[in-house]
Structure 1
Amino acid sequence: MAAISHVFTIGYVAQMLERDEDLLWDFSDELEPEDGALWVYDINDGETRAFTPAGIGMLREMIKDQIDRTDSKLSGA
């Protein structure tokens, strides 16, 4: 496995995926570092979630499985 060279903050990923950041926070609770979800710590006790490209892929799959599928059922597709 290649070393992690960069990550994207949860706010950045929310914009990228055009989804609400709170939704991604909910999904990220199910992800582990092995899935590409990490904690990033800053000064003054600041912290946020960040994702590797693989973690973003996991979030996309979760959205597809749980959100988009539900939307399809509701619209009768």
Structure 2
Amino acid sequence: MELDASRVGALHSGGIAMHVNKVHAVFTIGRVANDLGEDEDWLWDVANGMDTEDGVIWVYGIGDDGVMAFTDFGIENLIELIRIHKENPEPQ
């Protein structure tokens, strides 16, 4: 399988194309909820449909527990989703 380096932001070294990960930090959903002044459970419901391409990942520790976390890009997308959900709240 050949990589198209122009499409993935690759670094060329000795004829080998390597993907460069530009994410240097992620923020847990608890941290993001606190920073945005939102309820963590509600925020989880809002973010639940996000995909990796949207800037959300799962971070796993020891055992089966994992936590949702966001890149800077993911936080930007989440803020937009929050705005949409607040403008058009679903009936309860």
Q: TM over 0.5, yes or no? A: yes
Helix, strand or coil for the counterpart of 2:49? coil
Alpha-carbon distance between aligned partners in 2 of 1:44 and 1:4, rounded to the nearest angstrom = 25
Please give the residue correspondences for 1:16-27 in structure 2 after superposition, counting only pairs within 5 Å.
16-27=35-46
TM (normalized to structure 1)?
A: 0.81
Quick one: which of 53, 57, 66 aligns to 1:34? 53
Percent identity of the aligned residues?
A: 43
Greater relative CO, 1 or 2 (CA 8 Å, sep 6+): 1
- Rg larger in 1 or in 2? 2
The answer for unaligned runs of 5 or more in structure 2 is: 1-8, 10-20
Q: Cα RMSD between the aligned structures?
A: 1.6
Displacement of 1:41 in angstroms is 0.1
Structure 2 contact 27–70 (Cα < 8 Å) conserved: yes
Alpha-carbon distance between aligned partners in 1 of 2:85 and 2:63, rounded to the nearest angstrom = 35
TM (normalized to structure 2)?
A: 0.69
Divergent runs of 4+, >6 A: none
Greater share of residues in strand: 2
The answer for unaligned runs of 5 or more in structure 1 is: 72-77
